[in-house]
Structure 1
């Protein structure tokens, strides 16, 4: 009976993975998306086509998720199940006397099946369970942001009213234009967003569920102007719109992320989310009226300021792509947006330069 159940589970998982693979290889094109295919054939020369691309960037379907994270999800699930937090797999291997031992073979086959199923389910969850998971992530995000605010209040002096006024003149127009674009496209009220500026040790920005964004002041020397600032804020908006906080919660449910062996695969999924936010950000920047090619120069400046890590090393140590990889992707998207932006009547160019 036990052998029959194992075979049934194996067949179910195998068929489920084949189903996911078929979706990725031969995605259907529903009637409501036929207009989108036409727009893609035309290119990104109209606002309508960019809005379509923006919506697709934020709300990826299952086929897109499988094609982008399928290998990392399945492999990460298997590796996490074999090793995991307690390193039970390694202990079983050593205690059983080697890989040829029947005890270890039974454990390994079960762990592989379990891991493959978890990896497949993780992709389904990242597409269809993002919203409820994002709600579950809210207390943790609130805690992290509150902790940062308290740290900022304790460690750093409060800026003078003059500096605060100058910062508002620099930041508020960018934030207002981006909020307006998001409100028009995604029906999220502009008043929902909270964008806070804090002092910090490194150029960075963070976001979480609840439409909250924190900008650390060293980032302004990298952005240099309002177009660069727009790239940063819009990137963080991309994380919020795609509900990446919820997806991170789901990764903890489906992957044993504490297992060191699974780190390259879970990092690959996180890096894909960063690239998704980059893509969303450059579309929002262009729609807001700022020069999207500044996003390319932003990552060139970031590389000069923080350096670059070899891709093979970065895969083990970072949840973010290398600066060079982000630069290349931004350059490709910027070239696609040139036609649209060059004919935009209300283009703002680079906006105000940062001089604070």
Structure 2
């Protein structure tokens, strides 16, 4: 294919990707009463579709954990996690009124993995590896759970899937115009480094900030965010180098701690506007 035609095809693909939100699903911020962001979000997939899929996947995870006798095996630990989560859930409607109607679930899964997550629609899981390895205080555990709830309140999964949907559509259009696979692979890599991963890092920062507001509303000490991430740094062996930060879906630990410390101070003085 001539160079001019290749560039034309790629330009058309990028243009259609950029136009997709206007043709389908641009919405305002999915949260309210938060000082963290009021940006417009691109949603090309319906909320019902993603929440239904999330509920189905959650049921599979819970069923597997039950089969492995790994679900809520420690009554004291499970009660602690659910108590913290429920305090946060009770305040979630401040930022997302319709979350009152979500079918919230909270479970603890026995696993060495240091992890926790909240699927769209309020399906929460905390792994014992997080509790046993990091040994968080209640406030620090609230940092983790509020962060994961914030992802759900902001519908980051739906937004990320919409972005990938648009990107793949552009690459498919380019292929239709005869752009060879090497150029498509390069285009995909550029898109991944220049768009998808930074986009995900921005989601992490938003979840940090909204999560801090949520835990503050629930009465937890927001200074615990910095101490939690210092523990996480120690558990992971320290800060990442510059290349790892570029290719990471999370902000660097140092940047994260600095941002959370600053926001915590603002929340404590009632000056959390940005």
TM exceeds 0.5?
yes
C-alpha distance 170-110 of structure 1, shift in aligned 2 (>3 A) = same
**Unaligned segments of structure 2, at least 5 residues:** 28-39, 172-184
Q: Given that residues 208 and 240 in structure 1 are in contact (C-alpha distance below 8 angstroms), is that contact kept between their aligned partners in structure 2?
A: yes
Q: How does 1:66-145 map to 2 (within 5 A)?
A: 96=1, 103-119=2-18, 121=20, 125=26, 127=40, 130=43, 133-145=46-58
C-alpha RMSD over aligned residues: 2.8
What TM-score does the superposition give when structure 2 sets the normalisation length? 0.75
Deviation by residue 1:120-167 (Cα, 9 ceiling, x = unmatched)? 64597473554953322234423432343244234454565xx31x12
Q: How does 1:158-307 map to 2 (within 5 A)?
A: 163-164=74-75, 166-187=76-97, 188-189=99-100, 192-221=103-132, 222=134, 224-256=136-168, 259-264=188-193, 265-307=195-237
Cα distance in 2 for residues equivalent to 1:249 and 1:158: 29
Q: Given that residues 55 and 123 in structure 2 are in contact (C-alpha distance below 8 angstroms), is that contact kept between their aligned partners in structure 1?
A: no
Q: Given that residues 205 and 213 in structure 1 are in contact (C-alpha distance below 8 angstroms), is that contact kept between their aligned partners in structure 2?
A: yes
Q: Which has the higher helix share?
A: 1
Deviation by residue 1:210-260 (Cα, 9 ceiling, x = unmatched)? 211111112224251111111111111111111112112201211139833
Cα distance in 1 for residues equivalent to 2:70 and 2:92: 33
What TM-score does the superposition give when structure 1 sets the normalisation length? 0.59
Question: Could you tell me which of 313, 316, 321 is aligned with 2:244?
Answer: 313
C-alpha distance 234-159 of structure 1, shift in aligned 2 (>3 A) = closer
**Unaligned segments of structure 1, at least 5 residues:** 1-95, 97-102, 342-356
How many pairs were matched up? 236
Q: Given that residues 223 and 298 in structure 1 are in contact (C-alpha distance below 8 angstroms), is that contact kept between their aligned partners in structure 2?
A: no
Q: What's the offset of the Cα at 1:115?
A: 1.2
Corresponding residue for residue 149 of structure 1: 62
Cα distance in 1 for residues equivalent to 2:226 and 2:19: 34
Q: What's the offset of the Cα at 1:208?
A: 1.6
